[in-house]
Amino acid sequence: MIPGSHRLGGASLALALCLMGSAHAGSAEGPVEDTSRIVSIGGDVTEILYELNAASKIVAVDTTSTYPASALKDKKSIGYVRALSTEGVLSMNPSVIIAGAYAGPPEVVAALKASSVPYVEVPEDPTPEGIAEKIRVIAATLGSSPDTEALTKKVAAEFDALTAQRARIKKPVRALFVLSVQNGRAIVGGNGTVADAIFRLAGAVNAAAKINGYKPLGDEAAIELAPDVIVTMSNPVPGNEPHKMLGLPVFRATPAAANKRLVEMDGNYLLNFGPRAAQAARDLMLALYPELAASAQGSGQ
């Protein structure tokens, strides 16, 4: 690990592709008569179901359901969230399908919605309010859960604490999220991405805010963006080597490279916007602003 870098876990090409995908329209919600056999599609969806103590009802998950670790170990897999097959999902004999709005491909989602199995689509909104809505929709599907209020309050309290900590930032850093580097060209997260949303929560300025979505970045453009720090997913795609990123020509002339500032985080943890989103934003904040971490340790917090 290079000096000044933070490594907080691993991610995969699956998540990278998921982040670049589009969302589907919403679907009907409300209690489902039979929730005894749930197929959970989406890491955030699975995490919420576990938090609501509905794990015993889950019969299958997708490969982005990496938390808790027991999900992929104990449940059958239906494959990657954006490369589902109608037969693969329905072969699990689900009584209900609960899926994130980013599930795909579209034709498979359309077929699943047209099947006799209730399909509940969880909205995707990378904000604290959006996470509360995810919890509400999933809880409503289950009918009733005594854990719903406790989970909602816990998440809200963590975001309140994050807001208080963010107020202590004196000078926001310019951060650049790099999804991947292929053939020397970096794909970066601009406005309207979940990376942009997590930067705002962590108190950072998105150096690529004038770019819409995920776009390739040329050498001159990287110099103009002048990021103070590069943020990327650890092992995001095969062939990528995050620890060598600052030495690439596209970033060599940036302040981030000059000061050897690279932050690597588990992509699912950082960008899923599930119940741990406030914790992920706080971990990113402390990596971006080491002085906050030092201050918290000094005060015994």
| Helix (H/G/I), strand (E/B), else coil: 292 | helix
At 1, the pLDDT band (50, 70, 90 cuts) reads very low
Q: Burial of 62 by CB count in 10 Å (0-12 exposed, 13-18 middle, 19+ buried)?
A: buried
Q: How far apart are CA 18 and CA 20, in angstroms?
A: 5
Angstrom CA distances, 176 to 12, 214, 218, stand at: 19, 12, 14
pLDDT above 80 (res 239) = no
In the chain, DSSP finds a helix count (H) and a strand count (E) of: 13, 12
Quick check: bond before 68 cis, omega within 30? yes
At 22, the pLDDT band (50, 70, 90 cuts) reads very low
pLDDT above 70 (res 230) = yes
CATH 3.30.70.260 fits 5-12+169-298, yes or no: no
Q: What are the structural domain ranges in the chain? A: 5-12+169-298, 15-162
The CATH superfamily assigned to 15-162 is Nitrogenase molybdenum iron protein domain (3.40.50.1980)
Q: Which tens digit of pLDDT belongs to each residue from 43-60?
A: 999 999 999 999 999 999
Using a cut of 0.85, tell me whether the model's pTM lies above it: yes
Q: How far apart are CA 63 and CA 268, in angstroms?
A: 11
Q: How far apart are CA 57 and CA 50, in angstroms?
A: 10
Let me know if the fold of 5-12+169-298 is the same as that of 15-162: yes
At 183, the pLDDT band (50, 70, 90 cuts) reads confident
Residue found under tokens 């949303």 = 197
Q: Which tens digit of pLDDT belongs to each residue from 112-169?
A: 999 999 999 999 999 999 999 999 999 999 997 778 999 999 999 999 999 999 999 9
Mean pLDDT rounded to a whole number for the chain: 88
